[in-house]
Structure 1
């Protein structure tokens, strides 16, 4: 196991998260191995897409004020926490990794907020860095289309991941996001916040 430290989010320092040391990359924390039965600790990092969403919501609280918000593939929970901070009526998170959901709840608590365990029919879905593989991308698109069909909004933070379906979204904001070089092989990533048509 590895340790995390409560650290301000680089692009949204109003929020602090329990994060891995910036010197470590994702697979440094798993001994350099990937085991399909145990997801790597994505939740131990403030990914660029989540940071961009957080900054966007903190700067534009009207996007979430009074709304029921679901953070999909929450990771650390940074976007969920930003939604709570900005005045959402209720915020829940989901992730295929139960450790991530636990981390999001711990991080929310560290910032003085609590996340709902479940949320029926949210008004807005948030998702950061979800278009990273050809297997995951179509599942995300299907989920977001279903949400849009029933009237919910969808905001996605994406730093140019290879499977982002840009034609389905409009760019609403762009940020230069500080990221750990060990994670992204770069000091910053230009990251868009996108609204689904």
Structure 2
């Protein structure tokens, strides 16, 4: 176990997300202590919040629908974009995807995804770096809760639409964020997910999975 994995294991506990009890992840219950610990460990006050330490509603719904067979990924090349701790990627691997990649720009999120995948006995290729703009090499691209800021939405949506135009199935799991585009999305399923007040202003979120149209 490398230093990042040891840090994650020391500051989280193994738990099962409410909608996906088949998968066990290294999760935190409070955001402030692990954020402060991350700043101390990395000797930096400018790090992103440790979103990887929580099973976000969007990733839970994606994982649930994958494991139930509503989203079919068997034999496919799958990308979990903005993967957090890798929940949707792990579900895709368990559902028989041929290749699963997890994309994140946070090195601790990548370390968490690798640790979680190993704990669940599946193979997920996880590397840091911005894949936005990369040519299509996936059959299915999943993005959970990515339209929370206008710059982020503007950065990723042209790329996601291009991937869809090139034949990929592109899915966005959205819990009602303000910057979700109004056009070019087809809803395919909605589920209610329990949430934590550590991250949200309510006790549940209604998450809709949209398919991106070219």
Give the TM-score normalised by structure 1: 0.90
Consecutive unaligned residues of structure 2, counting only runs of 5 or more, are: 1-6, 128-134
Bigger radius of gyration, 1 or 2? 2
- Structure 1 runs of 4+ with >6 Å offset: none
Post-superposition CA distance 1:38-62 (Å, at most 9, x none): 2211100011111111111111166
Quote the Cα distance in structure 2 between the aligned partners of 1:29 and 1:185: 20
1:18 to 14, 26, 31: 26
2:117 to 93, 96, 108: 108
Q: Report the CA distance shift for 1:171/1:61 in structure 2 as closer, same or farther (over 3 A).
A: closer
Whether the aligned pair in 2 keeps the contact of 1:179 and 1:188 (CA below 8 Å) is: yes
Give the match for residue 142 of structure 1: 158
Whether the aligned pair in 2 keeps the contact of 1:56 and 1:193 (CA below 8 Å) is: no
The higher-RCO structure (CA 8 Å, 6+ apart) is 1
1:29 to 31, 34, 38: 34
1:160 to 176, 191, 201: 176
State whether structure 2 residue 104 is matched by structure 1 residue 95. Answer: yes
Consecutive unaligned residues of structure 1, counting only runs of 5 or more, are: none
Give the TM-score normalised by structure 2: 0.83
Structure 1 residue 116 displacement after superposition: 2.2
State whether structure 2 residue 132 is matched by structure 1 residue 124. Answer: no
Quote the Cα distance in structure 2 between the aligned partners of 1:60 and 1:91: 17
Give the match for residue 92 of structure 2: 83
Post-superposition CA distance 1:149-173 (Å, at most 9, x none): 2211101111001111142211111
Structure 1 residue 140 displacement after superposition: 1.6
Quote the Cα distance in structure 1 between the aligned partners of 2:188 and 2:171: 9
Quote the Cα distance in structure 2 between the aligned partners of 1:182 and 1:102: 22
State whether structure 2 residue 15 is matched by structure 1 residue 7. Answer: yes
Count of paired positions: 194
